[in-house]
Amino acid sequence: MQDGTPWPGNSVRDHPGMIQVFLGHSGVRDVEGNELPCLVYVSREKRQGFEHHKKAGAMNALIRVSAVLSNAPYLLNVDCDHYINNSKALREAMCFMMDPISGKKVCYVQFPQRFDGIDRHDRYSNRNVVFFDINMKGLDGIQGPIYVGTGCVFRRQALYGYDAPVTKKPPGKTCNCLPKWCCCLCCCSRKNKKTKQKKTVKKPKQREASKQIHALENIEEGISEIFVLLSDSISQKSSEGSQMKLEKKFGQSPVFVTSTLLENGGGPRNAIPPSLLSEAIQVISCSYEDKTEWGKEVGWIYGSVTEDILTGFKMHCHGWRSVYCMSKQPAFKGSAPINLSDRLHQVLRWALGSVEIFLSRHCPIWYGYGGGMKWLERFSYINSVVYPWTSIPLLVYCTLPAICLLTGKFIVPEISNYAGVVFMALFVSIAVTGILEMQWGGVGIDDWWRNKQFWVIGGVSSHLFALFQGLLKVLAGVSTSFTVTSKAADDGEFSELYLFKWTSLLIPPTTLLIINIVGVVVGVSDAINNGYNSWGPLFGRLFFALWVIIHLFSLPQRFTRKTRPDANHYFGVVNPAGLYFDSYVGPDKPIRLERWSCIRNL
């Protein structure tokens, strides 16, 4: 530190909670005269023996600190390897959040991920164009896109686990659709019925009515004082009960609990008194979330390494909807994995999180019914947690052509049969569907093909490993750890981005590629030896084998590249009232705040 004392956070897994306010007063301006926002660095308490929940725990700590210090109604979540590329992106998000008709039901506005440091060929399908430019657009027409972990503007009230506001149902059918004369008849008939009912009611006698009135007056005079006392005690007990429910849900911080009730935010903005700082230190302690609903119903949800899917899913279950905002100029840009092994490990982490969700109580197949989620939106979430299981049929699909060529047997019916015609019709229909999606989403054939290639490579490697790791973790209790993915540097030099680093994830796709090539060689050799008649049945087997090979053929092209060192990783929450950082890994290196210089233009 500046006074020569060691920094308290040098021990990454054992240090107190620390908050450093760089900018905390309004009126502070830069050299150009622009007012600077509040800038706060947060390092939550870490103690051995406590579960810190990785990124999700860090984000929950940040949302509590920002609620105590500024309590802005909207938050922007940006990972450290992303930076603000369009200073007007928040204004575009606010157009959806503050829409007078449907804005109150919007829980978050998700921006697509765009990346720097990717060569023009995008060999690893890092841009993921099919997902961000086709799938997410389709979800935007249902109930909204899923939350992808970064580049997302949230409504704070939605993160607190509240239900979406109930929209008023449109009035029932009236006689506006009928002619005026019919409407008049209906109205007259209704009035006549009401008057007839009134006439048929017998009036009580005046004496009996006067006796009842005097009796009621005597009773009212006797219990008026008791009613006042009871109302005071009931209101006090109800307020105490609601306060206990809020503390059980949000924790034992009265300042934070009070801030959760303010739908439009608000709080002290001119100064940060010491009392608020001490309260902010309390909400980032290790024991604050004990016996609360943090990570269960409030904030970023725990239980999976892909907490983003769970968090967005819980919001949609509460009846909220999300919005996909694709601005002309990319709102945020980030760095992509720098080699094949890192890319496969990244996909492994995502797939492992999906397997964990599938085997948990939050699985979209059986969780959250009756809460306002649409059926098509539920199907999209089911697809997001089921896809690792497709690695098993995909592995069989890639293995059978080689077996057929090596054994000389063909399990698929011949093309001349009816089953073969049906198969070709299905094959062509899938291709036509892909072409229509590409035309609608503006995705080129090259991006679509690279995405398809990497889906096969990742499916038989990362998805398969994630499936077994997830089963071991849930059924046998064997926990697996993951490493933060290395990302490309900022200089944009492509010559050093790719280096082949051997990993066990490459064993399945490499094995499949070799056995299919060997099968093709064996099949062609047998056809040459057996004569002309053997070439006909061989074409069907060769078709499937070559179809597998061209999907896996990009593997040899990735084995002769160079690499760059690992990047530092930080996660942050941005309020319109301030910027909050929380260090995640790499504490021995300083935070690179120069990337956030454009925050003043927001």
- The tens digit of pLDDT for each residue in 154-169 reads 999 999 988 888 876 5
pLDDT for residue 416: 61
The confidence band for 116, taking pLDDT boundaries of 50, 70 and 90, is confident
Q: Where are the alpha helices (DSSP H) in 413-486?
A: 418-441, 445-459, 462-471
pLDDT for residue 576: 61
Domains of the chain by residue range: 388-566
Choose between 589 and 272: higher pLDDT. Answer: 272
> Is 55 annotated for ligand binding?
yes
Strands 578-585 and 38-43 turn out to be parallel
Contact predicate 146/107, CB 8 Å: no
Contact predicate 356/303, CB 8 Å: yes
The confidence band for 226, taking pLDDT boundaries of 50, 70 and 90, is very low
Cα separation, 392 vs 464, whole angstroms: 7
Picking from 136-140, 266-270, 529-533, which range would have the lowest pLDDT averaged per residue? Answer: 266-270
Q: Which of 55-64, 212-221, 436-445, 591-600 is most confident?
A: 55-64
Apex 516 CA angle, 514 and 521, nearest 5? 95
Picking from 35-44, 361-370, 442-451, 476-485, which range would have the lowest pLDDT averaged per residue? Answer: 476-485
Once rounded to an integer, what is the mean pLDDT over residues 389-399? 90
- Percent over 70 (pLDDT), the chain: 71
Picking from 149-153, 457-461, 476-480, 481-485, which range would have the lowest pLDDT averaged per residue? Answer: 481-485
Q: Which two tokens stand for residue 88?
A: 């007007």
- pLDDT single digits (tens) 551-560: 887 665 554 4
In the three-class reduction of DSSP (H, G, I as helix; E, B as strand; rest coil), residue 143 is classed as coil
Cα separation, 318 vs 469, whole angstroms: 31
> Is 409 annotated for ligand binding?
no
> Is 54 annotated for ligand binding?
yes
- pLDDT single digits (tens) 57-102: 999 999 999 998 888 899 999 988 889 998 888 899 999 999 988 8
Cα separation, 451 vs 168, whole angstroms: 43
pLDDT for residue 577: 63
pLDDT for residue 240: 55
Cα separation, 13 vs 271, whole angstroms: 32
Contacts of 573 (CB under 8 A, 6+ apart): 59, 62, 63, 66, 75, 76, 77, 580, 582
Once rounded to an integer, what is the mean pLDDT over residues 499-516? 80
The confidence band for 586, taking pLDDT boundaries of 50, 70 and 90, is very low
pLDDT for residue 321: 92
pLDDT for residue 69: 87
Once rounded to an integer, what is the mean pLDDT over residues 183-210? 49
Picking from 349-363, 452-466, 517-531, which range would have the lowest pLDDT averaged per residue? Answer: 517-531
- Say what the pTM is: 0.73
pLDDT for residue 145: 93
As a 3-state breakdown, the chain gives helix, strand, coil percent values, each rounded to 5, of: 50, 10, 40
pLDDT for residue 583: 52
Picking from 162-171, 194-203, 284-293, 585-594, which range would have the lowest pLDDT averaged per residue? Answer: 585-594
Choose between 583 and 367: higher pLDDT. Answer: 367
